[in-house]
Structure 1
Amino acid sequence: MSLNELLAKALPLVKDNIEALKIPMPSYTIFISMSDGKNRASIVNASADTFHKAWGKAVFKCRRQAEKDRLQTGWLRIDWVRSAEKISWKELDTRLKKVKRNYFRHGLALDSGFHKVFLEQEINANAMLYGGNQISHSVINKKNFEIYARKRYKDYVPNFSDDVYVLDTQGVFCSVDESPRLLFPAGKNAGRRMEPMDPQAIYGLIQRSSHYLSTQVQSSGQFYYGWHPCFDRPINAYNTLRHASTTYSMLEAWEVTRDETLKASIDRSLNYLTGTLIQNASLHNGDEAAFLVDQGGEVKLGGNAVCLLALAKYTELTGDEAYLGLIERLALGIRFMQDPDTGAFIHVLNYPDLSIKERFRIIYYEGEAAFGLMRAYGLTKDPRWIEIVEKAFNHFIANDTWKAHDHWLSYCVNELTRYRPEEKYYRFGIQNVAGYLDFMMNRITTFPTLLELMMAAEKMICRIQENDTHRHLLDQLDIDKFYRALETRAEYLLNGHFWPEYAMYFKNPERILGSFYIRHHAFRVRIDDVEHYLSGFVAYLGFLEKK
């Protein structure tokens, strides 16, 4: 499909939604962004006193730009200015101090005629208001601003002293594969498509993000760990725990999609996990155990746990029992890291001598360990594993660990109450979520593990409702508010997806398309970031399908 055909496809939806600004602002300002899906979008803009003039000028510029760049346009996005506010650069700087980094959701015009203008998406994709990970708020990055302004407007250099105009925009996106889609205007959803929260749409998210993860598994079975997409830079680190937990989420997705390419990637990842990353060790009592070893010779409690999750899930889905012996050895490794008297866990050991490195590192490890053991128990019904979990829960309950509102503990208590439907465990699960609803409804970051927490809790709540024995515990929870918060978190996660209409502004769109990102970490895409979004949406799809 040609550029002209894409423009013709988009035009009716643009005309139906665009409105003129009031004097003294330019009546119509139109942006046209074009991308072949492989390179950062080329963007042109034009302003005029009528829509016909502004459209004609913008189309002329985009055709000329496409010809100059020899651009085969596969993605086309058209935006227009809906409102504008004139302020000083000093005032903008003050406002940015109140905005979380990368959460500035407006465009900027640097002159009254709106000749030098930037969309919110190109501002963020070029780190123009990002001061680094040590600054929590947005800030004018003069270096990045100047670099991009020079590129966009032929050596134009902003002086940062004149007035600036803060813009609200709206857009339409279309491609060779998709009909025109109206995008959200200003607000938390700004710049992405209006997507229904129905099973078909959620299945599409699962399919795209799990496909993305499959492309990140190299022939060796090791992942490409992650990317900084603004400038297409790899994240030069590795974490074996996240290797295993990401593989688990891929298995959850494969249960839904049964995609052959995804399964092949899972197999490569598991081969690398079991053949290279997991090491055997003889314990002082004569038991043969296994441990996931991370960089620096560390054995993390959570590492063994997520290996159990991945291997138990694989065994459950395929019926292949080849990993049962390894599952037992990994579980024995976790038992080795538990105090048999208190139920507390040691978090980090040194490998190979298994000496204690850190008794406590991060609360998540304990929930992961208990959940991993419950999945091992669910698979094998070996009583040793649930005994470890019940000891751990005595420790969790005594220490009010529910105050951490950990999604792994939510997963675990849901599993535990399936086999031990005792009031103390149900109460812990309710406490883990009940006082957290306002936070979940109002949190500005996508925080994907919140949906995981709620989906596991929802399964437990449904079982409580089915039996009068523990139903009184639900008096501690506003059920209506719980489901509002659940739906709020699920829909808000759509703002962390790399839709083509957002990916097109980054340096290498096809590298990140279909993945999920963490906005306040410079739109970081890391395998475990995608993992948590994916696991949440797999559970949410199950929730939608049972409604």
Structure 2
Amino acid sequence: MCRQLLPAGNTSVGPWPAQTLFFSVSDRRSRARVFHVSATSLDEAWQQGVDWVQAWSAATQRSEPMWLRVDVVTSVRAMAWSQFQEQLQQVKRNYLRYGLALDEGFRHAFTEQEINANAMVYGGAAIAHAEVNMGHLQRYGRIRFGEDFAPVLLPSSPVYLLTTAGVFCDEQGRAHTLSGQGPDAGRRDLAELDAATVRGLVRSGAEYLARQVQEDGRFIYGRFPCFDRRIDTYNALRHASSTYAMIESWELIEGGELKAAIDRALVYLVERLIRTCQLPDGRRAAFLVDEVGQEIKLGGNAMAILALVKYSEVMGTSACADLLERLGTGIELMQDPRSGAFTHVLHARNLKVKEPFRIIYYEGEAAFSLCRLYGFSGNPRWLAMAEKAFEHFIASRHWQHHDHWLSYSVNELTRYRPEEKYFRFGLQNIEGHIGFVRHRRTTFPTLLELMMASSQMLRRLQDRPELGHLLADLDQETFREALVHRAHHMLNGHFWPEMAMYFKQPDSIVGSFFIRHHSFRVRIDDVEHYLSGYVAYHAWLMQQQTQVAVEACTPLPEGCP
């Protein structure tokens, strides 16, 4: 099957080999072993590669199902080593999308996936562009080609950029064709991003998060997968927000192991991360306390509320009602009752102000959580606080930040207060930003969240003809196209097995989501944002299907042909 799906080979004519194939195999637990062959025909190269895979399997006595990937070189571009290094300065770090051969005979050649997964063109976090890392190149080169690998690369030495396309066979023997050039390069081709596919992405991402929840309920916070380096810091806010994303996902896909992980994470949240204290006026307030710096973040309380409200709604329980009241009181302490503005960070030991402002995210998170708390409890106090916050947001022109949490909050507020000023704010938060959503090279998952929350608000606005004038400046078709494009582009931040296999410990990252320009970082909050965006996108796709079905069944007016 793999051979039949393999694309046509090299069409470039030059001193290099006529046809070259890369064979990559992995047991799913360790970095792929790669072997490449060159020949005068694809059939000849294929047979050589098959012989190698069989010999490798016999020598290593591998009996379990493996991942197999075969890439064929489809085009070659020659340049001097110095020119290659200069061109890398125009490439965002980790965004090299070509393979590389170091000699015209392709004796020493690497695929794009090998280069990026081994940080061979990564100069460090302080360097924004790609840069050859000779230490990593030589380290991996010795693994691939032997201890005598020591290329002499003078400024004038010719090197060769390679484009490839290929096929991947998973552990169940299913074959997937792989994209060639462009942002989709290296991952499987998908005919469409339909509801079933999105549901599968949510399932794999949520199952990844569930695997990170340890027995005590604390997450494994994250890792840099090139060399499987764990991230040892912790962030209580992201614990709460990742738990929230798991609950959103469970509502769509369910699953016993996911539910058990959610319960463990919530116990840790409630018993270890949240503290209750008595205020001078006698009220009891609760705060999410971050162990780093012993500080209370406005967004921390907000995310704890969002997680507990969502859990309460999905599971049909009111067990957290008193705690939610105390967490809301904590936010109330951090809001100026006159202006509606929030204080962002307090010292946990004495509730004194540590930072009046830290990051715009906290503002939208707080307003969103107050609206959600109102929806759960019916207490008008929380909605009044949210409206007061929006007085501040509007006066301060917060819409200029185009923040996804602001879209979440205004979408939720307009459910209860469908007033023109709030709809206008929501539109301003996306207007002028749609081109950025459409063309941003990074996967930037919060942009899909921004668009999904905005689309929900637009749907309600369209049902209010008296406010139709607000839509005059919004090109809704362009909006829809940008939304769909962003959902598709985010597929390039998913650790498909055909990509995960090149990293140090594939089974620790497969099915998760990554941030490419941060060394393919996989952190719980990275995965969280992809999940929230795709959960909402799944709902949107189902709405589209329902709308099409309804329109198909709607009878034509009398007299129409």
TM band (smaller chain):
over 0.9
Aligned length: 538
> Could you give the per-residue CA deviations for residues 80-120 of structure 1, whole angstroms, max 9, x where no partner exists?
10111111111111111010000000000011111211000
1:178 and 1:331 mapped to 2: Cα distance?
52
- Where do residues 107-126 of structure 1 align in structure 2 (5 Å cutoff)? 107-126=99-118
Change (3 A) 1:375 1:307: same
Report the alpha carbon displacement of residue 24 of structure 1 after superposing the two structures with TM.
Answer: 2.8
1:513 and 1:477 mapped to 2: Cα distance?
39
Match of 1:42 in 2: 33
Match of 2:470 in 1: 473
Asked if 1:157 is matched to 2:150, the reply is yes
Name the aligned partner's letter for residue 418 of structure 2.
Answer: P
Match of 2:202 in 1: 206
Asked if 1:544 is matched to 2:541, the reply is yes
Report the alpha carbon displacement of residue 20 of structure 1 after superposing the two structures with TM.
Answer: 4.5
Match of 1:464 in 2: 461
1:125 and 1:351 mapped to 2: Cα distance?
41
Asked if 1:169 is matched to 2:161, the reply is no
Report the alpha carbon displacement of residue 307 of structure 1 after superposing the two structures with TM.
Answer: 0.3
Is the CA contact (8 Å cut-off) linking 1:216 and 1:224 kept in structure 2?
yes
Match of 1:396 in 2: 393
- Where do residues 193-272 of structure 1 align in structure 2 (5 Å cutoff)? 193-195=188-190, 196-272=192-268
> Could you give the per-residue CA deviations for residues 256-287 of structure 1, whole angstroms, max 9, x where no partner exists?
01111100000000000001100001112211
Report the alpha carbon displacement of residue 61 of structure 1 after superposing the two structures with TM.
Answer: 2.3
1:421 and 1:158 mapped to 2: Cα distance?
67
Report the alpha carbon displacement of residue 64 of structure 1 after superposing the two structures with TM.
Answer: 2.4
TM-score, normalised on structure 2? 0.95
Asked if 1:486 is matched to 2:483, the reply is yes
Asked if 1:524 is matched to 2:521, the reply is yes
Name the aligned partner's letter for residue 105 of structure 1.
Answer: R
1:474 and 1:28 mapped to 2: Cα distance?
55
Is the CA contact (8 Å cut-off) linking 1:43 and 1:62 kept in structure 2?
no
Report the alpha carbon displacement of residue 204 of structure 1 after superposing the two structures with TM.
Answer: 0.3
Name the aligned partner's letter for residue 92 of structure 1.
Answer: F
- Where do residues 322-337 of structure 1 align in structure 2 (5 Å cutoff)? 322-337=319-334
Query: What is the SS of the residue equivalent to 2:472?
Result: helix
Name the aligned partner's letter for residue 158 of structure 1.
Answer: P
Query: What is the SS of the residue equivalent to 1:215?
Result: helix
Is the CA contact (8 Å cut-off) linking 1:149 and 1:158 kept in structure 2?
no
Is the CA contact (8 Å cut-off) linking 1:434 and 1:478 kept in structure 2?
no
2:172 and 2:365 mapped to 1: Cα distance?
41
Report the alpha carbon displacement of residue 65 of structure 1 after superposing the two structures with TM.
Answer: 2.6
> Could you give the per-residue CA deviations for residues 507-544 of structure 1, whole angstroms, max 9, x where no partner exists?
00000010000000000000000000000000000000
Report the alpha carbon displacement of residue 347 of structure 1 after superposing the two structures with TM.
Answer: 0.3
Report the alpha carbon displacement of residue 66 of structure 1 after superposing the two structures with TM.
Answer: 2.7
Asked if 1:129 is matched to 2:129, the reply is no
Match of 2:310 in 1: 313
Is the CA contact (8 Å cut-off) linking 1:35 and 1:73 kept in structure 2?
no
Report the alpha carbon displacement of residue 170 of structure 1 after superposing the two structures with TM.
Answer: 0.6
Match of 2:369 in 1: 372
Asked if 1:102 is matched to 2:102, the reply is no
**Residue number among 65, 68, 80 corresponding to 2:72 in the alignment:** 80
* Percent sequence identity over aligned pairs: 51
Name the aligned partner's letter for residue 241 of structure 1.
Answer: L
1:425 and 1:63 mapped to 2: Cα distance?
65
Match of 1:53 in 2: 44
Query: What is the SS of the residue equivalent to 1:471?
Result: helix
**Residue number among 280, 284, 295 corresponding to 2:276 in the alignment:** 280
Asked if 1:443 is matched to 2:440, the reply is yes
Is the CA contact (8 Å cut-off) linking 2:10 and 2:75 kept in structure 1?
no
Query: What is the SS of the residue equivalent to 2:342?
Result: coil
2:325 and 2:173 mapped to 1: Cα distance?
49
Report the alpha carbon displacement of residue 456 of structure 1 after superposing the two structures with TM.
Answer: 0.3
1:178 and 1:48 mapped to 2: Cα distance?
27
> Could you give the per-residue CA deviations for residues 426-458 of structure 1, whole angstroms, max 9, x where no partner exists?
000000001101111110110000000000000
2:270 and 2:393 mapped to 1: Cα distance?
31
Match of 2:379 in 1: 382
Is the CA contact (8 Å cut-off) linking 2:8 and 2:74 kept in structure 1?
no
Is the CA contact (8 Å cut-off) linking 2:65 and 2:172 kept in structure 1?
no
Name the aligned partner's letter for residue 172 of structure 2.
Answer: D
* Greater Cα offset, 229-238 or 65-74: 65-74
Asked if 1:29 is matched to 2:20, the reply is yes
Report the alpha carbon displacement of residue 385 of structure 1 after superposing the two structures with TM.
Answer: 0.4
2:188 and 2:221 mapped to 1: Cα distance?
28
Name the aligned partner's letter for residue 54 of structure 2.
Answer: R
Report the alpha carbon displacement of residue 68 of structure 1 after superposing the two structures with TM.
Answer: 3.0
| Structure 2: gaps (5+ residues) | 545-561
Query: What is the SS of the residue equivalent to 2:260?
Result: helix
2:274 and 2:316 mapped to 1: Cα distance?
22
Name the aligned partner's letter for residue 369 of structure 2.
Answer: G
1:341 and 1:174 mapped to 2: Cα distance?
62
1:158 and 1:499 mapped to 2: Cα distance?
32
Change (3 A) 1:482 1:178: farther
**Residue number among 499, 506, 509 corresponding to 2:506 in the alignment:** 509
Match of 1:3 in 2: none
Change (3 A) 1:480 1:178: farther
Query: What is the SS of the residue equivalent to 1:94?
Result: helix
Match of 1:146 in 2: 138
Name the aligned partner's letter for residue 126 of structure 1.
Answer: N
Asked if 1:182 is matched to 2:174, the reply is no
Match of 1:5 in 2: none
| Structure 1: gaps (5+ residues) | 1-8
1:541 and 1:52 mapped to 2: Cα distance?
42
Change (3 A) 1:178 1:313: farther
Name the aligned partner's letter for residue 186 of structure 1.
Answer: Q
Report the alpha carbon displacement of residue 62 of structure 1 after superposing the two structures with TM.
Answer: 2.5
Match of 2:427 in 1: 430
Report the alpha carbon displacement of residue 23 of structure 1 after superposing the two structures with TM.
Answer: 3.6
Asked if 1:66 is matched to 2:57, the reply is yes
